[in-house]
Structure 1
Amino acid sequence: MHFLKERLKGIYQNNKLFFLAVFLLFIKSISILAHIVTDTKSFAIFYTIGCIPSYLLYFSYIVILMSFYFLFRGKFKVYYLFCINFFVTILFLIDIWYFRGFGSFLSVHSLMQTGNLYNLSDSIKSLIKFYDLFLFLDILVLFYFYKKQEVNVSKKSVQAKAFTISLLVSIIFIIEPVDAMILFNTKKQAIYQMTYSPKVTISNLSPIGYHVFDVFNYIKECRHIELTEQEKIDIKEWFNKKENIEGENEYKGLFKGKNLIYIQVESLENFVINKSINGKEITPNLNRLLKNSIYFNNYHEQTHNGISSDGDLIVNTSLFPVRRGSTFFRYPDNTYNSLPKILKKYGYYTHAIHSDKGPYWNWMRALYSIGFDKCTDETSFNVDEKIGLGLSDESYLKQIVPLIKTQRQPFYTFIVTLTSHMPFNIDEKYRGLNLNKELNESYLGGYFESIHYTDKCLGMFIDELDKQGLLDNTVVVISGDHEGVHKYYQNSIENLSQKEDWWLINNKEIPLIVYHKGMEQRTIDTIGGQVDLLPTICYLLGIESREYQDTAIGRVLLNTNLNFTVLDNGSVIGEVDEETKRHALKGIEISDKIISSNYFKQR
């Protein structure tokens, strides 16, 4: 026993720097989770330690990375430790920035989408915080101990035994996380899986383990999956159990045969509707349209890693996006029973219009596959005025009117705006709310001004459609693609010295406004989400439920006994019994299988 004790002591004395580097990287991993889980600026570790399902799993991934230290000699050992730590720190930084922007973490799938970064430099900069530099603090500590404390670095030959033992022991704990089973009475499968919440997944696997598992999954997910017979049965049974109310009400066929214009407004949240700053309405034109609209005031975003492109997908297919990566990048050529395909059966001409380039988020290729007759991108417009990421909403919407006027009727035109995209740094000459200095210079003030500008453009667009005689026989649907300022800059709002309670609302709500000239205002309080758009619009247009009942995840919000919705992270808003809740949550899994297998092509 004495010999073993002396032997271990000798190993420690000869490799102090190795053990210190492992410990510091462990602390850094915990700090990352503390920052993400608590959603604060603090890198305090104490909160997150209680959330860790397997601390040995964390150490195991770190030791595997560090174990190659034993294969070097002398100072090359030190160089290796510093290089690995620096590489991991950069990876962690990107994870934090990515999480602030998209609510998930860097993955191999997202690396395949780097073409989307060409015009996002300002947006990316807005996600970087000065306190992120604290992630490099442990490297300075490591350097201090190496230089000042004269930490011994073994100059012997390669330590093959130490390498082999550290590597094998770590692999054993990764393959079979015994400590997690004992301490938490969980199964291995409960750790090695991608959950609805990226926060939970990365906490289970560790920040390093998350990326190892991500690569493993990417290799498995490169192609469409093959569904088992049981999985196909499960999909059919899920749709059979979905709510299907046969009775009709006043809304069925209310707009039968009318043209449909859907406007997906970048980052439009519901909390600005009917609100004023300094006596000025933030969205005066949308507020005006409400007087002749069906207004859904409990409608929620359900986008995932594909953010805005997921908005395109969900409202046109009534499916949740895939859980990993962007659906439009992974499966751009999938077959769907989509809104444009359904409407084409009823004689509609379908047209999708974006003011950015077709390859951006791969939207043009994907929307053609979804079923649009024509897709128009930036190359078809005169880019005579740029704001933020591209063509201004004012110029863009003005140029769309002639396109709509010449379309064959009835038509379905899907329009996506751009100017109100983060980081909401719209130029002063476009600002009209006269905000105080602090608010004007904040992200929230920039958001208010960006939405106010886009609202003005929407008002001009609607008025021009009316002048051209297009509104009498047209329904205009307006909604957001996802949250805006609350999605990216919640902390910035909370840190304002003077704020109003309604500014702090962050509940994933986006407005859904169904406008038709001359109709009376109606407000629908039913809780729903983007997957409900397709069946709800079909109901208003008089489309029979048989066209979408066994392909749409959503339900008709105008004819339902349910009052809840499921968000992309698996959380539920509203009150619902446990059985219905389980069924709804399974809809996320069902959607993933449908898309990942290209299920509708096989039917």
Structure 2
Amino acid sequence: MKITDIKNSKLFDFAADIRNSRPFNLVISLLFDNADIILFFIIIFWKLLSYEKNISSSFVPMSVRLAIAASILILISFSLILKKKSRISFLYTVDIILSLILIADLMYYRYFKDITTVAAIKNAKLLKGVSASVTSVASVKDLWYLVDILILVPLKRKYKKAEFGIVPMRRRLVSFIVILAVGVGINAKTFYRVSKEQPTLLTAMSNRIYLTTMIGNVNFHIVDSYNYISTSLKNSKKLSTDEENKVKTFLQNNNNTTGETNFKGQAEGKNLIVIQVEALQGFVINQKINGQEITPNLNRWVNKCMYFDNYYYQVAGGNTSDAELMSNNSLYPAQSGAAYYTYSGNKYDSIASELKDKNYYTAALHGNTEGFWNRNVMYKAQDFDDFFGEHSFDASEQIGLGISDKSFLNQSLEKMKTFKQPYYSFLVTLTSHYPYDAVDKYGSFDVGQYKGTLLGNYLQAIHYTDAQLGEFLDKMEKEGMMKNSIVALYGDHFAIPKDNESQLFSFENESKNDDYTWFKYQKVPLLIHFPEDKYAGVNHKYTCQMDLYPTLANLYNLPKNYMFGKDMLNGDSGKVVFRNGSFIDGKNLYVSWTNTYYDLATGNKISETDALKKEKEDYTKELEYCDELQNHNLIKTFDQQKAN
């Protein structure tokens, strides 16, 4: 067949008919009428995908791409309500705003290795001194996020001048509802998936980078804003004078120092070194596997310290940050989410603030990124003079989430030698962090049958951390730093989550797997070392993280105004109250989720008595008082009342 024959064939006639047909014209018209939406979707999707690749070294999975697309559809849906020219302006403005947010987030990420939040912006005054460092990490590459905005200026003007048909409001509303429903539906599936994989992540937002890489930047800021606004609205109702007085009266009664004479003031003038150890659970102390001690160094130091073997962790949605909050402030964790985010603008009466009043230098040290768990904000709120995070150390030796414990503790020791005395050093370790999957770095500790399991990986991880803690404590002792210092060392929270309890019970040869047995292992070790190993021995009292600050306050002769815990060295209340309403009173255990009581001595279930019912009501009210104190920033209010 000749070319001329092809040109004259019915094939071309058919193509021409398509081009000239009404459906073809409708498609072209539809594409032209919605060119602004199509272009907006493509540009914003590219920007958000580019951002994801900047904060994550891994491939962006389809589930995250869908979440990004869903967030863009939600933005587009609101533009569909508007008339054509207003819609164009709306989308262009949103493009500018999102581009600036992405640039700001990238700059913040490069410095803090974290994502900006409403709380961080609101508390920007607490970040003074780092703004110059943040701007120094701006990159010329960031300008790519603004190029389209400049290019689109003339196109936007011409497009606005084009003739468009008038779309009735009813049709615009239908378009809005349909597109919004699609975007919300995809997001609902995404959020459900995240809530299943990480139950507290959407509310506590403990790892903002991880959350952003799962749901996308726009969705992250939507979730962050929702959490912030919902909390603010909940707390906007002013407490009555009567309600404030109830909180004040409880605190006055709880902090009454009458009769607390044991050890009072014995640590005055001495340095205070507090070490919070990641996932150090009590069951590994003085325990062996295959004939090898799991924590040989801590076992040795247990014999040189005052050791509390019934010391319970009480963390909630804030996990590690909750342990820090309780240990430094004797305040309960937030009812939901993490207090380190929710209450970052509050006033605190912390160990650091009270010791500063006694001319102590105060410093917090941690091998993770400064913004993780909002520490860069919260340490300033708690009045620490300095926070040494990842950027303050040589971060070349990394294991898991950050600097290895070996490197972190060695460098921290060198920093502490330069601190002006007396000082308070608060150190938080990191390497033994869940899910303990970097076991190749931990050496060849043989865990036998548990090799490759979560429990086995944990035992290897905590064995590694134990070696670093032993070296750190031994160096301090050898160099004479212990002679004028009190050292407190404790675990922050559980190591083995409840859905892996069978491994733990098997390791401990437990035949039962009820709630009583579970609570038996929800303890973390607390060691308090005095100069010359004074007062070494085991204390079997039922105590908890809320009790650390009151105990240190007694030792350092600090005022006790806003503490919900009790001094462990005076009295024997045995009170341990958990955020979910469960409690221990020294003789009994109450499990809130089954409304069941157990006898602590036997593990047998017991019936509720009037006394136990009143305890339950009293402890519930105590949690409410702490919530009201935090929700309404009452420490600030009470301090102002005292001043007046």
- The answer to whether TM tops 0.5 is yes
Which runs of 5 or more structure 1 residues have no equivalent in the other structure?
1-70, 72-76, 125-210
- Counterpart check, 1:367 vs 2:406: no
CA RMSD in angstroms comes to 3.5
Displacement after TM superposition at 1:511 (Å): 1.1
- Counterpart check, 1:387 vs 2:480: no
Tell me the distance in 2 between the aligned counterparts of 1:348 and 1:389.
31
Contact 2:255–2:563 (CA under 8 A) maintained in structure 1: no
SS of the equivalent of 1:471 reads helix
Tell me the distance in 2 between the aligned counterparts of 1:498 and 1:300.
21
Of the three residues 233, 236, 244, the one matched with 1:232 is 244
Tell me the distance in 1 between the aligned counterparts of 2:228 and 2:467.
48
Of the three residues 182, 187, 194, the one matched with 1:94 is 194
SS of the equivalent of 1:106 reads helix
Q: 1:234 to 1:496 in 2, by over 3 A?
A: closer
Contact 1:264–1:416 (CA under 8 A) maintained in structure 2: yes
Q: 1:217 to 1:335 in 2, by over 3 A?
A: closer
SS of the equivalent of 1:383 reads coil
- Counterpart check, 1:601 vs 2:601: no
Contact 1:479–1:510 (CA under 8 A) maintained in structure 2: yes
Give the structure with higher Rg (CA): 2
In the other structure, the counterpart of 1:427 is 439
Tell me the distance in 1 between the aligned counterparts of 2:546 and 2:460.
29
List per-residue Cα deviations over 1:271-318 (Å, max 9, x = no partner): 111111111111111111111111111111122222111222111111
In the other structure, the counterpart of 1:188 is none
Tell me the distance in 2 between the aligned counterparts of 1:306 and 1:457.
26
SS of the equivalent of 2:327 reads helix
Of the three residues 426, 429, 451, the one matched with 1:414 is 426
Give aligned pairs, total.
430
Tell me the distance in 1 between the aligned counterparts of 2:212 and 2:365.
19
Indicate the larger mover: 570-579 or 441-450: 570-579
Tell me the distance in 2 between the aligned counterparts of 1:420 and 1:464.
21
Within 5 A, what are the aligned runs for 1:391-402?
A: 391-402=403-414
Which runs of 5 or more structure 2 residues have no equivalent in the other structure?
1-170, 172-176, 216-222, 589-610, 639-644
Tell me the distance in 1 between the aligned counterparts of 2:229 and 2:180.
28
Displacement after TM superposition at 1:234 (Å): 1.3
Contact 2:369–2:402 (CA under 8 A) maintained in structure 1: no
Indicate the larger mover: 337-346 or 241-250: 241-250
- Counterpart check, 1:501 vs 2:516: no
Q: TM-score, normalised by structure 2?
A: 0.61
Tell me the distance in 2 between the aligned counterparts of 1:468 and 1:360.
32
- Counterpart check, 1:511 vs 2:525: yes
- Counterpart check, 1:534 vs 2:517: no
Displacement after TM superposition at 1:98 (Å): 2.1
In the other structure, the counterpart of 1:482 is 493
Within 5 A, what are the aligned runs for 1:192-271?
A: 218=230, 220-221=232-233, 226-242=238-254, 244=256, 246-271=258-283
Tell me the distance in 1 between the aligned counterparts of 2:294 and 2:410.
21
Contact 1:96–1:105 (CA under 8 A) maintained in structure 2: no
Contact 1:334–1:370 (CA under 8 A) maintained in structure 2: no
Q: 1:219 to 1:390 in 2, by over 3 A?
A: closer
Displacement after TM superposition at 1:501 (Å): 2.2
In the other structure, the counterpart of 1:377 is 389
Displacement after TM superposition at 1:367 (Å): 1.0
Of the three residues 584, 588, 597, the one matched with 2:623 is 588
Q: 1:344 to 1:560 in 2, by over 3 A?
A: same
Q: TM-score, normalised by structure 1?
A: 0.65
List per-residue Cα deviations over 1:305-343 (Å, max 9, x = no partner): 221112221111111122122222222231111111112
In the other structure, the counterpart of 2:202 is 106
Tell me the distance in 2 between the aligned counterparts of 1:496 and 1:561.
30
Within 5 A, what are the aligned runs for 1:176-195?
A: none
What letter corresponds to residue 456 of structure 2 in structure 1?
Answer: G
In the other structure, the counterpart of 1:279 is 291
In the other structure, the counterpart of 2:41 is none
Q: 1:215 to 1:452 in 2, by over 3 A?
A: closer
Of the three residues 202, 210, 214, the one matched with 1:117 is 210
Q: 1:341 to 1:87 in 2, by over 3 A?
A: closer
Q: 1:365 to 1:81 in 2, by over 3 A?
A: closer
Q: 1:237 to 1:356 in 2, by over 3 A?
A: same
In the other structure, the counterpart of 1:153 is none
